[in-house]
Structure 1
């Protein structure tokens, strides 16, 4: 039999050929290249998607708007401004002493004169303190009389050397101390007398009672401790005040003595004459207006505080104005504004001063010019710098 060749560990190993080794190296080097190519393709696709999204977002950000140009209005020599009538003087009346309301003598609508009794307050504590202070005053006066007699007596005894100089000096000093005590006691009595006088509540000036917030038996405290402690409110209305905000371009023509006419919706056909008495002499930075006070005589009492009124001023030099649709005005927290389209198709908000309201149109006295492209119907969300696309009325294409 042929002999079998023994199988060893070395005989099981199959030696690798050179070609197989080269293929493994190629695969190892090719894998990073493939990964890089895949990453590059992914970046390109992502950049294309981002550009497409940016284009879409930009298109969505462009707001289509229609614009108009302001038209020239007739120069206005009559400036109409809204206002609210105020009393010439208006004052709350508080209690000046603690106690209970015993009586009241004036109700709402009562015309009162200065010093007229409005109410009486019972304050027994003040009355008792005043009685005690007067008794103390009498006691101090008696002590002063005794000190004066004693000092004078010792002054006569010092001549005969019956008393020492020390006794004389002490009695003279006691006399001066009693004089000071008398002044303090007098001051205390005067104070309590004034407090007792405050039990009578009187009108501080001629006027009309517009509010009564107390009744018999109410406990009141001295001072203005809150609205609940206010007894009465009095208003002086024989002359009323009206405050108006005059646009800046009229401010140079506002002078003391300038005549004004007041008209009320509640009194159609009636006009009340007044005049400018003072102004703030400062332009408000937020509204670009001049605060002006007008006093209007009101002897009949027809003009009531709190009523809405329209003030007509007639400046000596008419001021030109522009007319735009009423819907073009944005009423923002900063005041009335209009949206202007710039040469770069961006929004710019401008503050304006309003003049007369004609219903569908409104007068603009300052803030814009005839060359401005005003957005006709601006949405509330327009902001400075927002991009827009101007549309024509007929075709809707860009100008």
Structure 2
């Protein structure tokens, strides 16, 4: 017998418990979706706030101060002969002969040249004749004065007349002395016809030749000869005022010259000016080098290294780029990144200016991070994001302190 369809009153009914479970599942799913969206928005908001803070914090490049050799000061110097004398003519004439050329070693009193001075010879002959005349006149006046003294004793002449004869004798003696002095002067001039070396040394210049007209005291720009004693050399160095306190007695300096760059020479400090030159702001010091072997030449340029270690030398200056310097109304300063990436503006004093870099005498330490190219508006306490050199990062330095 075929099945008959159920009546509407006989349809299956839905279980309420199943409906509740489905509703709970759907509600939980909606809560999960809503929570995930809220969390995503909160995370995005936090990321945006962090990015805003990072963008508001300026990035600055930082460098470590560089330090050279502790206590070493490298300065330019100039070598000069221990003694140097320009030799001029003291009498007029023509050069007859010269005996020493440049580079010739000479002894004190050695003849360098001879001057032919016929006019001086004639003047000397005339002076001798004038002296003879004055001597004869003086002798005659002396005899006359003696005779008048005897006549006065005999009351043959007046005392006035005898006094006049004594006065004439005094005048004749003065004229004789004047003529004699003129003879001695001309004899000295004839001695100056021989130009001699003032001391042992080497002829470093000769600015005269045979037949040249010689005029004494004509204000020549260059002397006839120049003689220099090069057995010892003076080395002059100008030390900056900020480092002058490190100069002490007994200091030994090392120096090199361009013509012998591989040779290092030593010189001893002998004296200093003990005064700062107002124009250069430096103190002049003098060192002595024993040049008995003739290795160096006077007038040469030298690069001098002074060891300033010891009492009064102070700490070795540190070097920073010139672009790290700040100019404030209080003076020069640098910006240093301290703890918490906060800026510290420190006043500094420039010891030496090398152009691209500066040596600072105090104000910073070797372990400080100095801001390079700091903005003019940087101030104490500013928060910054330091960017360190790659070599520092490779060595293990963190990206931020």
Give the TM-score taking structure 1 as reference length: 0.66
Preserved CA contact (<8 Å) 2:324 2:370: no
- 1:367: Cα distance to partner? 7.5
Aligned partner (choices 238, 241, 245) of residue 238 of structure 2: 245
Please list every run of 5 or more consecutive structure 1 residues that lacks an aligned counterpart in the other structure.
1-64, 331-337, 344-348, 379-385, 395-399
2: CA distance, partners of 1:235 / 1:123: 28
SS state at 2:236 partner = strand
Preserved CA contact (<8 Å) 1:73 1:363: no
1:103-153 alpha-carbon deviations (Å, 9 max, x no partner): 111100011112111111112222111111111001111111111111112
- The 1:137/1:99 distance shift into structure 2, 3 A limit, reads same
Preserved CA contact (<8 Å) 1:88 1:241: yes
Corresponding pairs, count: 310
Preserved CA contact (<8 Å) 2:348 2:364: no
1:174-219 alpha-carbon deviations (Å, 9 max, x no partner): 1111111111111111111122222111112221111111100111
Aligned pairs for 1:348-387 (under 5 A) are 352-354=350-352, 364=359, 366=361, 369=364
Aligned partner (choices 209, 213, 217) of residue 207 of structure 2: 213
Runs of 4+ deviating beyond 4 Å: 65-70, 284-288, 327-330, 338-343, 360-363, 370-376, 386-394
SS state at 2:271 partner = strand
Please list every run of 5 or more consecutive structure 2 residues that lacks an aligned counterpart in the other structure.
1-58, 326-331, 338-346, 379-383, 389-401
- The 1:148/1:310 distance shift into structure 2, 3 A limit, reads same
CA RMSD of aligned residues (A): 3.9
- 1:227: Cα distance to partner? 2.0
Preserved CA contact (<8 Å) 1:97 1:123: yes
Preserved CA contact (<8 Å) 1:103 1:216: yes
- 1:225: Cα distance to partner? 1.4
SS state at 2:288 partner = strand
1: CA distance, partners of 2:363 / 2:126: 76
Aligned partner (choices 187, 191, 194) of residue 181 of structure 2: 187
- 1:167: Cα distance to partner? 2.6
Preserved CA contact (<8 Å) 2:65 2:369: no
Larger radius of gyration: 2
2: CA distance, partners of 1:134 / 1:89: 40
Give the TM-score taking structure 2 as reference length: 0.66
Aligned pairs for 1:315-394 (under 5 A) are 315-317=308-310, 319-325=315-321, 352-354=350-352, 364=359, 366=361, 369=364
